[in-house]
Amino acid sequence: MSAPAATETMVEDSEVVQTAADAAENVIFSRCDRSAVADFDITVTFEDDVLEVDVYLNVEDDRIDEQQVADDAALAARGAVDELFS
């Protein structure tokens, strides 16, 4: 009996979650000064080989599109996890 492909690579769930969170945070702070970030939250779950990433961002700089940065951060998180399994 074969295990699902994601578990065959022997990546721990905690590593998946940390990798995703780190990637999302890197995107946020590569696009926003730390002093401009009023609040942010990155929620990552990885259960039954399903990754969920939610990013909330509140910045005090009207020139920054918070939603776009949050979306890009979530995409980067998913991409980083994909690299773990490739």
Mean pLDDT in residue range 29-35: 97
Of 55, 50, 59, 60, the residue nearest 73 (C-alpha): 55
Mean pLDDT in residue range 11-39: 97
> What residues does 59 pair with on adjacent strands?
37
Domains of the chain and CATH, by start: 10-84 (3.30.300.100)
42-71 residue pLDDT tens? 999 999 999 999 999 999 999 999 999 999
Residue spans of alpha helices (H) in the chain: 5-8, 13-31, 66-84
Task: Provide, rounded to the nearest whole percent, the portion of the chain with pLDDT above 90.
Answer: 86
Report d(CA 78, CA 76) in Å as an integer.
5
Q: What is the pTM of this model?
A: 0.86
